[in-house]
């Protein structure tokens, strides 16, 4: 049997499941807060064009407006100054092949429960690899932190007196994944792929700086990573084909053993 026939058969039989890793996208979707001197993320607005009325008696549709980096979304290399001159670095020019890859899920939920500012380190990645095997080139590395249970926007963004607190990546971990493991990118459950306090790191926002400088991607605000095995799932994460787009909201799907 061809692999695609087998895929369809196993999806139909229930041996494989489709896991939706996406947050609902709407006016209630929490967005990142930036210091006042920077442009703000506008959040989602939806305005009815027609709804079975004079403007469209038999059809319903909306106008939607939001920043590219809203809700569950994709970060393209052109999003960051380090990736701005790379070839094929925007939503419309990245080869579609690079949106699909095996998932490596690193579970640090217990660490994050103790420390909201937990950072993934190279040592932690190597410990994961001892148990599950080396992260293959072209993998999506997904950081499972338990942050998806924070459905209250205030707890999700978790902004304190000295800024937001949420887990992320040590710069050396981003370097290991981008340069030595040659991953597609990283995915997180938090509002962005850098830790809440990362504006004060060296370099600032190290994961964005390093990943996008190496032509790698980011996925933010994922859910349901607890439904994936550490290895063995395949993630499909294709942004809208926005011309010169720096990112886009998207539906992230994983195919996984049931
Ligand atoms: Mn983003």
What Rg, from alpha-carbon coordinates, does the chain have? Answer: 19
Burial class (CB in 10 A: 0-12, 13-18, 19+), 90: buried
pLDDT for 172 equals 98
What confidence tens digit (pLDDT) does each residue in 153-165 have?
999 999 999 999 9
Positive or negative CA dihedral for 177, 179, 185, 188? positive
CA distance 168 to 200: 13
Using an 8 Å Cβ cutoff, are 254 and 228 in contact?
yes
CA of 188 to the centre of ligand 1 (A): 11
- If you measure from the C-alpha of residue 199 to the centroid of ligand 1, how many angstroms do you get, rounded to a whole number? 14
Q: List, as own/partner pairs, every contact residues 81-87 make where C-beta atoms lie below 8 angstroms and the sequence separation is at least 24, other chains included.
A: 82/208, 82/209, 82/210, 82/212, 82/213, 83/212, 83/213, 83/214, 83/215, 86/215
Give distance in angstroms: CA of 18 to centre of ligand 1: 24
Asked whether 84 and 78 are in contact (CB, 8 A), the reply is yes
Residue 49 has a pLDDT of 98
pLDDT of 35? 87
* Active site residue ranges: 79
DSSP 206: H
* Cut 0.85: pTM above it: yes
pLDDT at site 222: 98
Residue 86 confidence (pLDDT): 98
CA of 179 to the centre of ligand 1 (A): 21
> pLDDT in tens for each of the 258 residues of the chain?
799 999 999 999 999 999 999 999 999 999 998 888 999 999 999 999 999 999 999 999 999 999 999 999 999 999 999 999 999 999 999 999 999 999 999 999 999 999 999 999 999 999 999 999 999 999 999 999 999 999 999 999 999 999 999 999 999 999 999 999 999 999 999 999 999 999 999 999 999 999 999 999 999 999 999 999 999 999 999 999 999 999 999 999 999 999
pLDDT the model gives residue 103: 98
How far out from the chain centre does Cα 209 lie? Answer: 16
């Amino acid at each position: 049997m061809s692999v695609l026939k087998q895929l369809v058969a196993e999806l139909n039989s229930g041996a494989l499941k489709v896991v939706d890793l996406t947050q609902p996208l709407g006016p209630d979707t929490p967005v990142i807060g930036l210091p006042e001197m920077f442009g703000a993320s506008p959040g989602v607005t939806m305005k009815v064009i027609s709804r079975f009325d004079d403007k469209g008696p038999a059809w319903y549709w909306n106008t939607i407006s939001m920043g590219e980096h809203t809700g569950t979304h994709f970060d393209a290399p052109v999003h960051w100054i380090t990736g701005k001159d790379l070839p094929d670095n925007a939503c419309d020019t990245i080869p579609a092949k690079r949106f699909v890859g095996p998932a490596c899920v690193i579970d640090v939920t217990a660490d994050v429960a103790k420390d909201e500012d937990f950072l993934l380190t190279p040592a932690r990645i190597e410990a994961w690899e001892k148990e599950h095997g080396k992260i293959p080139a072209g993998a999506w590395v997904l950081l499972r932190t338990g942050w998806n249970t924070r459905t209250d926007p205030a707890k999700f963004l978790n902004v304190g007196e000295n800024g937001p607190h949420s887990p992320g990546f040590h710069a050396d971990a981003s370097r290991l994944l981008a340069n030595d493991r040659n991953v597609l990118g990283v995915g997180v459950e938090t509002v962005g792929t850098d830790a809440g306090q990362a504006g004060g790191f060296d370099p600032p926002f190290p994961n964005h700086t390093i990943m996008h400088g190496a032509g790698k991607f980011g996925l933010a605000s994922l859910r349901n990573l607890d439904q994936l095995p550490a290895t063995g799932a395949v993630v499909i994460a294709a942004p809208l084909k926005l011309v010169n787009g720096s990112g886009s909201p998207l539906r992230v799907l994983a195919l996984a053993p049931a």
